[in-house]
Amino acid sequence: MSHQSSNNPSALSEEDVLYARAVAWKNRPLLRTVYHDYFQSMAAQFVTRSTDSERPHGVVVEIGGGAGHFKDFYPGIIVTDLVPTPHIDLAADAMRLPFADGSVDNLIMQDVLHHIAFPLSFFAEAVRVLAPGGRLVMVEPFISTLSNVLYRLWHPEPVDMRARIFREPRDISGADPAVFTGGGAFDANQAVPTLLFFRYAGKFERRFPSLIIRERKVHSMIAYPLSGGFSKRVLMPMKAVPAVRVLENMLSPLAPWLAFRMLVALEKAP
C-alpha cells in the first residue's frame, strides 16, 4: 500500500485516502473536537429502546464508518463500510445492507450520503432495515451562500446544484437518475443533501412518507472551515474553541447563509 499525500481523493486509492484521514485525525486536535461535537449532536437524536445502560439505543449501525472514529466515541455500534479496513465490523454496500427487515434501531452516517450515486435507492433500503420508530441520523455538507463559494475553491469534492434527484414523468425507464458520475467510493456531489432536505424536501416526503423528518438543522459556520478539515491548513488555535462556540450560537440566525454542515434525523413511522 502506498500512503502518498494528495488533496484530491479521486487521485488516490481508497485505502490511501482512509490512511491519510487516519493520520490527520491523530495529528489534528481541532478536527477531532469539531467532529466530536458532530458525534454528540447525532447521538442526541438516537431513539431510546431500553433502560439497559449498555445498549439504551438498541441496535446501532454506522454506514460508511471508514476509520472507525464514531465507534471510539460511542462503543458498541456495528460499523460498516464499502471499503474493508481493520476499523470496521462488516464490509457492506449502503444499498444492500446485510440486516434483516426491521432489525436496526438507529442508522447513522457521517459524510456518506453525498457519496451515494443513487440516494433514493439507499433510503428505500433504510426503510427496510429500520424498526418502526427507528431513526436514520446523519451529518452532511450544507450548501449555503458562503459554503458554496468556499467548497468550490477549497474542497476537492464537487458541488452540483443542478443534479437531478428525482425522475421526471417523461423518464420511460422509470429509474431514478444518478446524482453524479463515477463508481468509486469517494466520488461525490456535496449538493445532494441540501437538494434532498431543503430544495426538494416536499418531493422527498412524498416519495418516502414513512420517513418523518424529526430534525433538520444547519450549523458549523466558523470552527469547521477554520479547522482545515482533513487536508487544509489549520487556521484556528485550540484555545479559541470556547469563544468560537459562543460566537456560533450568537450567529445561528445567519446559519442558512453561512453554515457548512447540516444535521438531519429521519424517523420511520410506526
Edge-first strand order for the sheet with 104-110 is 90-91, 78-81, 60-63, 104-110, 130-141, 261-268, 211-219
pLDDT at 17 over 80: no
Predicted TM-score of the model (pTM):
0.91
The pLDDT value recorded for residue 245 is: 95
3-state secondary structure of 83: coil
Assigned C-alpha cell, 54: 449498555
**pLDDT above 70 coverage of the chain, percent:** 93
pLDDT at 3 over 50: no
E-state strands within the chain: 60-63, 78-81, 90-91, 104-110, 130-141, 211-219, 261-268
Cα(111)–Cα(34) distance, rounded to whole angstroms? Answer: 14
**Cell match 463508481: residue?**
183
**pLDDT above 90 coverage of the chain, percent:** 74
Higher pLDDT among residues 76 and 7, named by residue: 76
* Cβ atoms within 10 Å of 89's Cβ, excluding its own: 15
3-state secondary structure of 1: coil
pLDDT at 184 over 50: yes
The pLDDT value recorded for residue 68 is: 83
Calculate the average pLDDT of the chain: 90
What are the distances in angstroms from CA 175 to CA 112, 121, 170, 256, 257? 22, 10, 11, 32, 34
Through-space distance between the first and last CA atoms of the chain, rounded to whole angstroms:
47
The pLDDT value recorded for residue 49 is: 86
Higher pLDDT among residues 131 and 54, named by residue: 131
pLDDT at 167 over 70: yes
The 8-class DSSP code of residue 117 comes to S
Angle of CA points 237, 75, 91, to nearest 5°: 100
Average of per-residue pLDDT across 22-30: 91
Instruction: Band the pLDDT of 50: cuts 50, 70, 90.
Output: confident
pLDDT at 146 over 90: yes
**Cell match 424529526: residue?**
214
Instruction: Please tell me the CATH code under which domain 9-268 is placed.
Output: 3.40.50.150
Angle separating helix axes 14-27 and 29-43, nearest 10 degrees = 100
pLDDT at 2 over 60: no
The pLDDT value recorded for residue 52 is: 76
Average of per-residue pLDDT across 98-120: 96
Asked whether 194 and 148 are in contact (CB, 8 A), the reply is: no
Cα(252)–Cα(34) distance, rounded to whole angstroms? Answer: 17
The pLDDT value recorded for residue 172 is: 65
Domain ranges of the chain: 9-268
Average of per-residue pLDDT across 167-195: 84
